[in-house]
Amino acid sequence: MAAEADKIHTDLDSTRSRWALAYAWLAGLAVYGVAIYVASNGVQVWINDVAWTVAAAAATLVCFRSSRQVEPERRRAWSMIALACGSWLIGQLHWNYVQLVLQVAQPFPSLNQIFYTGFAVFVVAGVLMLPEARNRAAFTLKHVGNLGLVACCLAITVVLGMLEPALQSPSVTPMFLWVGVAHTVLVAGTFLSTLSALWTFRWGASWTPMLLLVFATCIYAISNFTYAHALLTQSYLPDDMVNASWLLMFGLIAVAGHEQAWLSKRDHGDIRHKMQARERWLEAVMPALLLVIMVAVALSSSATFTPRVIWLSATIFILFAVILGAREAWIQNESQHLTNQLVMANQQLQDANVELRHSEARYRDLTTALEQRVSERTTELKRAYEELEGFSYAVAHDLKAPLRAINGFAHLFEQELPAELTDRAREHLARIRNGSVKMSTLIDDLLSYSQIDRRGMQASVVSLPSLVDQVLSSYQDEIQRRGIVMTVVVEPMTLRVDASGLAQALRNLVENALKYTRDTPSPHIAVVCRRKSDGVVLAVTDNGIGFDMQYHDHIFKLFQRLHRDDQYPGTGIGLALVRKAVERLGGRVFAQSKPGAGATFTIELPD
């Protein structure tokens, strides 16, 4: 509940800070209205000039501050809008000096009019510098239609709002006429440019500031036309409502800048659905709004209607209708094209679904056939495994029994006939016995190698120092007899591992080290076990004869040896058995050596 209350409090504070400037501006408008109502005619002029100056200065400061708080790609645009308000402020200061200090009637056109014109130019430039306007989509016939409709509205506004009344006035000079037309085009064009930008470009989170700018330029256009009409008819009064419209215009611009700065500090998430809804709404409202503006201008200028005005207005209205119809036809055509593409895509999707169902059926058939074949292969593998078990039994019992008989009878023959045997006969008997012993050893090694895969993994928690001591204890007599310097460094640790497989691999490596240090004057063997970041390392190092590293992979293969049997007897199975046992444990084994410099065999096991 406390967290919910804090969230509600934070949201309220955020909302207050968001609209604080709008509330303050409305309060200022209320104070202005009261002051104008109670003041006399002369004081009203001062109140208007001071209020316009303060409003322009405040809008300039707010927009300038917003340009420093928004995203980098928006800074130039809001700096330009701040410059627009500043240009108006300079023109207003000149107006104040001429009217209040010099107390001279303002001519038209005058110097301050240049700065008022700068306001319109800078506002349009600022809107076109916004990232939404720069990152526009491809220019299509719909956008051409939008510009055509806006141009028709601008033409009606200029012709009926300024040109025709000026032509009918006998006191209007040509210079006044063309300056007035240019001013009207600029004023109406400012509003229509912002309106067209809102209609044409895709506005995301900046929708609200842009909408406020459109309202501000709308008030700017209406106020200018109302003020110009009042001057032409000499009906302007200091307490006219049009005077408050300038304050409202600058208020909307300032609130737009403040809103953009507030939005730039927040994440708005995915607003694509809102953007699409706004675009549909604008597509429906904008042509009707432009038509309403044209009709309103025409009705407001009904007093100046002449046959020429009627024909010209009718031509513009007809052109507006033609452009609107062509634009709607193009939109309908594009919509139909997209609909056809959607129908085709839907048909392709249905065809793909049918093909997918067929593929699923074929997949099920293949899966059934594969399962049947796997079952058959499993049966065959089970049969082969049973045959291998029988073969191993025959090797272990049926083959080793004759070898024991050969060795035993050769030994008896040598003992019972010592006198009758010649040296050559004794040599033959020794070869018979050595051959039978070697054959028996080879059979034992082959059985050990074949039983590695068939023996089940029996993982248990093992103390590594105890396992190493147990392996080395079997060779203590040979180590002491040969005077081997034995170094054992084993970090205290426990492993969950198949102890039998690890002991078998370590035993073969120790036997290998003992064998190949046989002719070394000062044999030295080291067994080191340590933990590293991703596992355990067991290394057996000797200073024996070593080997060339080009035979590194050769020595781990079955029956592969680097020396003759009379030099270093063996079956060529030991290191192959080590590699197979270590790989079953999920590790790897490798060696490092130089001829005559010993060798290091390393086992790496995963953690």
Encode pLDDT of 521-533 as tens digits.
888 888 889 888 7
Q: How far apart are CA 198 and CA 554, in angstroms?
A: 78
Q: How far apart are CA 158 and CA 301, in angstroms?
A: 11
Q: What is the pLDDT of residues 487-529, one digit of tens each?
A: 888 888 888 887 777 888 888 888 888 887 887 888 888 888 9
The token pair that represents 560 in the structure block: 């592969």
Q: What is the mean pLDDT of the chain?
A: 77
Average pLDDT over residues 539-568: 70
Question: Across 59-68, 91-100, 162-171, 477-486, which has the greatest mean pLDDT?
Answer: 59-68
Residue 80 — very low, low, confident or very high, per pLDDT cuts 50/70/90?
A: very high
Average pLDDT over residues 71-100: 89
Instruction: Inform me whether the pLDDT recorded for 473 exceeds 50.
Output: yes
Q: What's residue 76's pLDDT?
A: 92
Q: How far apart are CA 274 and CA 278, in angstroms?
A: 6
Q: Hey, what CATH class is 458-606 in?
A: alpha beta
Residue 425 — very low, low, confident or very high, per pLDDT cuts 50/70/90?
A: confident
Q: 40: which DSSP letter?
A: -
Residue 170 — very low, low, confident or very high, per pLDDT cuts 50/70/90?
A: low
Average pLDDT over residues 285-289: 79
Give 57 or 375, the one with higher predicted confidence: 57
Q: What's residue 1's pLDDT?
A: 45
Average pLDDT over residues 421-446: 68
Give 427 or 230, the one with higher predicted confidence: 427
Residues contacting 142, CB < 8 A, separation 6+: 327, 330, 331, 334
Q: What is the pLDDT of residues 237-248, one digit of tens each?
A: 555 667 788 889
The verdict on whether omega for the bond into residue 174 sits within 30 degrees of 0, i.e. cis, is no
Instruction: Inform me whether the pLDDT recorded for 191 exceeds 90.
Output: no
Instruction: Inform me whether the pLDDT recorded for 30 exceeds 80.
Output: yes
Average pLDDT over residues 463-470: 87
Q: Return the domain boundaries, the chain.
A: 14-142+173-182+201-267, 458-606
Residue 582 — very low, low, confident or very high, per pLDDT cuts 50/70/90?
A: confident
Instruction: Inform me whether the pLDDT recorded for 205 exceeds 70.
Output: yes
Residue 78 — very low, low, confident or very high, per pLDDT cuts 50/70/90?
A: very high
Is the full-model pTM beyond 0.85? Answer: no
**Range with lowest mean pLDDT among 77-91, 126-140, 295-309:** 295-309
Residue 12 — very low, low, confident or very high, per pLDDT cuts 50/70/90?
A: very low
Q: No. of H helices and E strands in the chain?
A: 18, 7
Q: Which residues of 336-350 are buried (b: 16+ CB within 10 A; e: fewer)?
A: eeeeeeeeeeeeeee
What SS3 state is found at 605? strand
Contact 48, 238 (CB under 8 A): yes
Angle, in degrees to the nearest 10, between helices 72-96 and 111-129: 170
Q: What's residue 467's pLDDT?
A: 86
DSSP character string of 48-67: HHHHHHHHHHHHHHHHHHHH
Q: 398: which DSSP letter?
A: I
Give 168 or 219, the one with higher predicted confidence: 219
Residue 5 — very low, low, confident or very high, per pLDDT cuts 50/70/90?
A: very low
Q: What's residue 2's pLDDT?
A: 45
* E strand or H helix at 532: strand 524-532
Q: What's residue 463's pLDDT?
A: 86
Residue count (the chain): 607
CB atoms within 10 A of CB 569: 13
Average pLDDT over residues 362-368: 87
Task: Write down the H helix ranges in 130-200.
Answer: 131-134, 141-158, 164-167, 174-200
Pick left, alpha or beta for residue 56 (phi over 0 → left; psi -120 to 50 → alpha; otherwise beta): alpha
The token pair that represents 264 in the structure block: 């730039």
Give 72 or 419, the one with higher predicted confidence: 72
Q: How far apart are CA 599 and CA 312, in angstroms?
A: 106
Q: What's residue 21's pLDDT?
A: 87
Give 88 or 442, the one with higher predicted confidence: 88
Residue 568 — very low, low, confident or very high, per pLDDT cuts 50/70/90?
A: low
Average pLDDT over residues 211-216: 89
Instruction: Inform me whether the pLDDT recorded for 434 exceeds 80.
Output: no
Average pLDDT over residues 260-287: 75
Q: How far apart are CA 28 and CA 7, in angstroms?
A: 32
